[in-house]
């Protein structure tokens, strides 16, 4: 595990510690460059420090959850309940947790919804603010005790991810420590996901069969028509692609993550 030591004189974390983390990530990528997603998952849980798996329990989430459960059913799984999720997602979360015998699923909720969105209409006025309130800020707070986290990002999802590595350094923000971000499915294609689910007889999210290939909060997710982009139903009609949980250069950005 890399120990990140605060550099209090500079108001942040020391360059030496940050450099050590970058070296660790480079070493992991070099050693696992040609390995399978399962091997990367095992490395994440055994070599990358204190790691959490962040899951939306959405359309493809069961793949990472199953992969992690086979290795360690006690892995911390962070599930952000925005209090605007589909009932089907909440039921699916409970069913998968029981089926995969996951013993450390942590349900994270924002503490200040009553103050900032008392009537539940913030998403109608400012979707970015709603996502920050209900998902981004609670997640970053929950991750503060971890050295890194596992995501479901994949190269095929966006041009910005064409060179996505298995292991990345997520730069810190506002004096927080940088973390390792692990993407075990970086090289997977849609057919790989389907094959894994079929081979392991994993249950699909019930909304997938009803035309929801990408599933978020109920007010901001609609069915997708044949031929449309799988994420066309997310924030339909808006210039918005994602809630903003991923960091680039220490800043939250929306880059089309499905998990």
Domains of the chain: 12-253 (3.40.50.620)
> What digits encode the pLDDT tens for the residues 65-81?
999 999 999 999 999 99
Per-residue pLDDT at 113: 95
pLDDT band at 232 (very low <50, low <70, confident <90, very high): confident
Neighbours of 64 (CB within 10 A): 23
Residue 159 reports pLDDT greater than 70:
no
Of the candidates 90, 130, 118, 110, the residue with the CA atom closest to the CA atom of residue 219: 130
> What digits encode the pLDDT tens for the residues 172-230?
665 567 899 999 998 898 899 999 999 999 999 999 999 998 899 999 999 998 888 77
Per-residue pLDDT at 42: 95
Residue 5 reports pLDDT greater than 60:
no
Of the candidates 45, 31, 32, 53, the residue with the CA atom closest to the CA atom of residue 1: 45
* CA distance linking residue 192 with residue 199, whole number of Å: 10
> What digits encode the pLDDT tens for the residues 15-31?
666 788 889 999 998 99
Per-residue pLDDT at 238: 65
What's the mean pLDDT in 84-112?
Answer: 97
Residue 250 reports pLDDT greater than 90:
no
Per-residue pLDDT at 153: 86
Hunting for tokens 């139903």 — which residue is that?
Answer: 233
Sheet strand arrangement including 179-182: 105-108, 77-80, 51-54, 148-150, 179-182, 167-170
Of the candidates 50, 250, 243, 52, the residue with the CA atom closest to the CA atom of residue 136: 243
Residue 94 reports pLDDT greater than 70:
yes
List, by residue number, the catalytic residues: 243
% of the chain residues with pLDDT over 70: 79
Residue 165 reports pLDDT greater than 90:
no
Report the phi/psi class of residue 212: left, alpha or beta, with left for phi > 0 and alpha for psi in -120 to 50: beta
Q: What is the pTM of this model?
A: 0.83
What integer best gives the mean pLDDT of the chain?
Answer: 83
> What digits encode the pLDDT tens for the residues 99-132?
999 999 999 999 999 999 999 999 999 988 999 9
């Amino acid at each position: 595990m890399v120990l990140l030591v605060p550099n209090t004189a500079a108001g942040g974390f020391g360059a030496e510690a940050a450099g050590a983390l970058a070296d660790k990530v480079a070493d992991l990528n070099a050693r696992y460059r040609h390995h399978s997603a399962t091997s990367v998952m095992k490395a994440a849980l055994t070599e990358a420090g204190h790691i959490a798996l962040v899951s939306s329990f959405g359309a493809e989430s069961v793949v990472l959850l199953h992969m992690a459960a086979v290795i360690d059913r006690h892995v911390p799984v962070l599930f952000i309940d925005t209090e605007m999720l589909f009932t089907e997602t909440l039921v699916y979360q409970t069913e998968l947790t029981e089926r995969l015998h996951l013993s450390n699923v942590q349900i994270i909720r924002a503490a200040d919804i009553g103050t900032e969105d008392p009537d539940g209409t913030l998403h109608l006025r400012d979707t970015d603010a709603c996502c920050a309130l209900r998902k981004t800020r609670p997640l970053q707070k929950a991750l503060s005790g971890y050295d890194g986290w596992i995501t479901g990002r994949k190269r095929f999802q966006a041009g910005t991810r064409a060179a996505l590595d298995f292991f990345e350094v997520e730069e810190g923000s506002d004096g927080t420590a940088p973390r390792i971000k692990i993407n075990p499915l970086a090289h997977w294609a849609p057919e790989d996901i389907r094959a894994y689910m079929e081979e392991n007889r994993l249950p699909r999210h019930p909304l997938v069969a009803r035309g929801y290939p990408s599933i978020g909060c109920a007010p901001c997710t609609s069915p997708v028509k044949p031929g449309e982009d799988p994420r066309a139903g997310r924030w339909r009609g808006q210039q918005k692609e994602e809630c903003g949980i991923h960091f680039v250069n220490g800043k939250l950005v929306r880059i089309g993550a499905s998990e």
